[in-house]
Chain A
Amino acid sequence: MGAGHAHPLHLEGVSPVHRLAPEVKIAAVLLFTIIVVLTPRTEFWAFGGYAVLLLVVAAVARVPGLWLAQRATIELPFVLLAVALPFAGHGERVDWLGLSLSVDGLHGAWNIFAKGTLGVVASLLLAATTTMRDLILGLDRLRCPTVFTQIATFMLRYLDVLADDARRMRIARLARGYDPRFLWQVKAFAVSVGALFLRAYERGERVYLAMVSRGYAGRLPQTDDRRAPAGQWAAAAVLPVATASIALAAALGS
């Protein structure tokens, strides 16, 4: 199931959200998602409140609603799972339009749909307003272990190179009049994947030796060590604080 990840979701733009430092945005999205997941599923109006918060962020970030809606279809398989739950769930059942539905399953479906959608939209807003490079930089500043940020940095640098390599190999195959597209032709495809690995690894060895000869000793030099000012942290904190207030109000109100 599923197609590949063809394009990053970054949306070029100028907005207050785009200008925020990446680490404060990652922290805000993380806290927002944790609060959403911890909210009991029966607090229906709290989820409405969260959705309004995300819409406000989207408006401030100038991310079009249609763009968000199209990208949010990524969670479609889970929506299908949610649709199946009322039929497959156990316990007390209700009749609705002649269908016997499980109450627990209905709640479960709502739970997955609401929390899944809010989480995906929050992540989409983060990805839309932050470049890949900045996301890695943000993780580094949040004290994510350097092994991971280093691997991720190299990965993102090599990604386009490899994708182009793969594209050239495909064009070369097409130019020779062969376009494998069905299961019984899988071998031609897999052989080119093997060739891609060899080319990539040999290129990596060359690049590594070139780096060592230029003084690389296991860590890239830090070029930019500006930390986010307190004002940015305060601005980004508005989202989790508002979310927590809604959650608290819901908890006290019920």
Chain B
Amino acid sequence: METTAMHIANGIVDGPVSAVFAVLAIAALAVCVRKAGHDLDERLAPMAGLVAAFIFAVQMLNFNVLPGVSGHLLGGTLAVILVGPWVGALCVSTVLIVQCLVFSDGGVTALGLNITNMALLGTAAGYLLVAGLLRILPKTASGLAVTAFIASVISVVVASQGFVLEYALGGTTDLSLPWVSGAMAGVHVLIGIGEGLIAATTVATVAKVRPDLVYALRRFRKPVTVPEVGVTA
């Protein structure tokens, strides 16, 4: 078993800034809980739990990008397209809390920072892009796949820039911010492309078989005719 952390650890960002972002994360998640109730009512806990388990399970499926370099999904944009921004944010933050407590990935005091970046910033950017792009692109499986790819790449990079903002506010070492920003963006564009390819194909598969399960297509349900069930994409 080889496991490396990818969430912010303790001691990277100072105490006061961590505390501010923890409060921010709690407030935003309270809004998400209320909004998610509208999407799922009393089905919230079982279905959100299932989506969270799905994100978690997908993170366990490693895929060799090249021999020796393995990548795996972060799953934020995927969750947003499939279950919507509110449930998606709740699922990603639950995954982060469990990873922190059960798997020691991400510092306990940095939980607010990690939730802000990945569960809030990442899903918000992902959802805004998905909602915007679907206005322009065709509402078909391939249109959705292109949307998923673009939204994944950008939302992963946006989430990484959330860290740059936090570092600018409370970084424990004086570094040149453009350097930090560039390094984070560079690494995350690569992660985002892998993420985007997998998210795109996954969403396309679901959209072909059960289009009713795709939250992002819900608003366009009426004009959409039932797509034919394809053999393979």
Q: Which residues of A contact B (CB under 8 A)?
A: 1-9, 26, 29-30, 33-34, 36-38, 41, 71, 73-78, 81, 85, 88-91, 104-105, 107-109, 111-112, 114-116, 118-120, 122-124, 126-127, 132, 135, 139, 145, 147-148, 150-159, 161-163, 165-166, 181-183, 186-187, 189-191, 193-198, 200-201, 203-204, 207-208, 211, 217-219
A2 to B72, CA, bound (A): 8
Cβ–Cβ contact B172 & A111, under 8 A: yes
User: Are the C-beta atoms of A197 and B206 separated by less than 8 Å?
Assistant: yes
A151 touches B103 (CB 8 A): no
Given contacts A148-B94, A155-B49, contact A127 B203 (CB under 8 A): no
The 7 closest A-B pairs by CB, nearest first: A154-B49, A108-B173, A115-B11, A194-B205, A190-B201, A119-B10, A158-B53
B70 nearest in chain A by CB position: A3
CA separation between A204 and B63, bound complex, in Å? 26
Interface of B is mostly: helix
B146 CB, min distance to chain A CBs, angstroms: 14
Q: Nearest Cβ in chain B — how far from A143, in angstroms?
A: 13
A-B contact count (CB 8 A): 288
Minimal beta-carbon separation of B52 from chain A (angstroms): 4
The distance from the CB of B207 to the nearest CB of chain A, in whole angstroms, is 9
A115: chain B residues within 8 A (beta carbon): 9-11
Cα A77 to Cα B46 in complex, Å, equals: 35
Encoded as 1 (CB less than 8 Å from any A CB) or 0, chain B from 191 to 207 comes to 10010011111111110
Report A-chain residues with C-beta under 8 Å of the C-beta of B213.
Answer: 198, 201
Q: Is B3 an interface residue (CB 8 A)?
A: yes
Bound state CA distance, A109 and B171, in angstroms?
Answer: 12
